[in-house]
Amino acid sequence: MEHEQIVKAIQHIYPDGADFTIRDKEIVWLDKIQTEPTQNQIEAGWISYQAKVVEDEAIAEAKKASAQAKLAALGLTTDDLKALGL
């Protein structure tokens, strides 16, 4: 796994934060409270992180489509809102 993938996986596993660093592709676990995740947990965390990104993008796209439909129902466009300073 790449450095960035490992960091995002660990941040996904520990969303409230964990104290660690990476040196030469090796995790140096500094957290005194939480246990260091295993390689399998990190790989699973990366897969879960990727799924969450896809889900978040789908939700954002659905919200955008819903907002545009509501504007269209009111006879407005996003350009109309920009013109109004909204």
Residue 49 is predicted with a pLDDT of: 98
User: Across-strand partners of 21?
Assistant: 28
pLDDT averaged over every residue in the chain: 93
The arithmetic mean of pLDDT across residues 60-77, rounded, is 89
SS3 assignment, position 28: strand
Mean pLDDT of all residues in 70-74: 88
d(CA 59, CA 71): 18
- Which residues are within 8 A (CB) of 13 and not within 5 positions of it... i.e. 6 or more apart? 37, 41, 42, 45
At 9-46, the pLDDT tens digits run: 999 999 999 999 999 889 999 999 999 999 999 999 99
